[in-house]
A = this chain, B = another copy of it.
Amino acid sequence: MSTAAPATAFDTRTRILHLAEELLLARGFNAFSYQHIAKELGVKPAAIHYHYPSKEELGAAIIQRQQRRLRKWRDLPRVTELTPPQQLDALLDVYRHRAAHGPQVCLFGALAADFLTLPAVMQQELRTFSGELTHWLAGVLAAGRADGSLQFSGHPFSKAAQVLTTLAGSLQVARVHGEEQFHYILRQLRTELLPTREA
């Protein structure tokens, strides 16, 4: 980090990544184009290729960025110090936020449908990202059941996979049927995981 990159270069690169991510989550990988990004940026489509030579690399960069974000968030003292139910709620908040904005789907939900058409690099990175998220949630669930703050049957990993699957799907539902439906599903999910308080 002896020399900083030229401000404009950095900004353009970052802006491209940001716009591409928005477009990916809104339209899916096969329905967004360099033209969409270029128009927004006020440059020609080919300019994007300087920063991201191929769409494959652009797509991979988006997944890598979300991977970094996940790790950073997960390891935040603000998050690690929470109780398991609070960690679960923190995760749900991420999805609630997306549901309220667009609604956007999550990265997994945006890419899974087109999975077979994705470049191999992107397929592999999505597997890693999703696997790591599931692993983290499984840990949270296991800790919660151990201390009695969460309840569920079966293996924590199975339950984590089920919860994340439901969350990914629920954002797709929000898009099709509206945000209200999304909240129905989330309330259902949350109610089942939190132990029934004896009156």
**A residues engaging B (CB < 8 A)?**
26-28, 30-31, 105, 108-117, 123, 126-127, 130-131, 153-155, 157-159, 161-162, 165-166, 168-170, 172-173, 175-177, 181, 184-185, 187-189, 191-192
Given the known inter-chain contacts A161-B185, A162-B166, please indicate yes or no for A175 contacting B115, CB distance below 8 A.
yes
14 other A-B residue contacts (CB within 8 Å) besides A27-B114, A112-B175, A112-B176 = A28-B117, A105-B113, A108-B172, A111-B113, A113-B114, A114-B114, A130-B176, A153-B192, A158-B184, A161-B173, A161-B188, A165-B169, A165-B172, A165-B185
Given the known inter-chain contacts A109-B113, A161-B184, A173-B165, please indicate yes or no for A154 contacting B191, CB distance below 8 A.
yes
A170 and chain B: residue at smallest CB distance: B165
Which of B165, B176, B184 is A166 in contact with, Cβ under 8 Å?
B165
Given the known inter-chain contacts A154-B188, A158-B188, please indicate yes or no for A172 contacting B31, CB distance below 8 A.
no
Q: Smallest CB–CB gap between A66 and chain B, Å?
A: 15
A191 to B188, CA, bound (A): 16
A108, A130, A158, A175, most chain B CB atoms within 10 A: A158
Q: Smallest CB–CB gap between A195 and chain B, Å?
A: 12
Given the known inter-chain contacts A28-B30, A28-B117, A177-B131, please indicate yes or no for A112 contacting B189, CB distance below 8 A.
no
A177 to B26, CA, bound (A): 23
Given the known inter-chain contacts A30-B28, A112-B113, please indicate yes or no for A185 contacting B173, CB distance below 8 A.
no
